[in-house]
Amino acid sequence: MTSSVLDLAPVVPVVVLEDAADAVPLARALVAGGLPAIEVTLRTAAALDAIGAIAAEVPDAVVGAGTAISVRNVADTVAAGARFLVSPGWTDSLLDAMKASGVPFLPGVSTTSEVVALLERGVSEMKFFPAEAAGGTAYLKALSAPLPQARFCPTGGISLASAPSYLALPNVGCVGGSWMVPADAVAAKDWARVERLASEAAGLRG
């Protein structure tokens, strides 16, 4: 596996699962559509079981944990099988735990000072969140000249329509989004639709 989450695919699906039983068919649909990196957010009680199921049963998927906001989150998700970690923000203790986890991670930033602080600590790959609310492509473009060593996965409010403008930026490796896993498709177990949407997303960067 690449050591960088940013290079796995142009889009990382951000998945919220209420039922762990949906995890494996959903992951298989995303992988079949060309999106192997899957961020399962820790927003539901089913998240850890979902991560474990995908890790065990979908070998072509690279499952990660999103919304990792505590040292305990890091330990629990890596033990469950998470192969990367994503946080909406970071603290020193959280950063230390992610560094010690042995898996790639993307700490979240939304200000220039946070970016500089991470660079100072040897971290150059980050999540930019909430992307649209925090300034979008204009903000990231402005960061690229003074801080070219920082690379980002913008997440938050990004759609199929807006993703290409992010992916065109030199400091963006991939984007995170949930438009290819709409709640109604997951509820209906319409995995064929998820695969179609994933394929469309995977084609955003040739």
Residues identified as active-site? 39, 127
Residue 148: CA atoms inside 13 Å, Cβ hemisphere, count? 2
Cα torsion angle, 67, 72, 78, 80, sign: negative
Collapsed DSSP state (helix, strand, coil) of residue 154: strand
Specify whether the CB–CB gap between 106 and 155 falls below 8 A: no
Query: Cα(179)–Cα(192) distance, rounded to whole angstroms?
Result: 15
> Is the previous residue joined to 130 through a cis bond, with omega within 30 degrees of 0?
yes
Residue in the structure block whose two tokens are 């950063």: 95
- The residue type found at 72 is R
Rounded to whole angstroms, what are the CA distances from 24 to 51, 63, 96, 120, 204? 9, 11, 31, 39, 25
Residue in the structure block whose two tokens are 């192997």: 36
Query: Cα(103)–Cα(99) distance, rounded to whole angstroms?
Result: 8
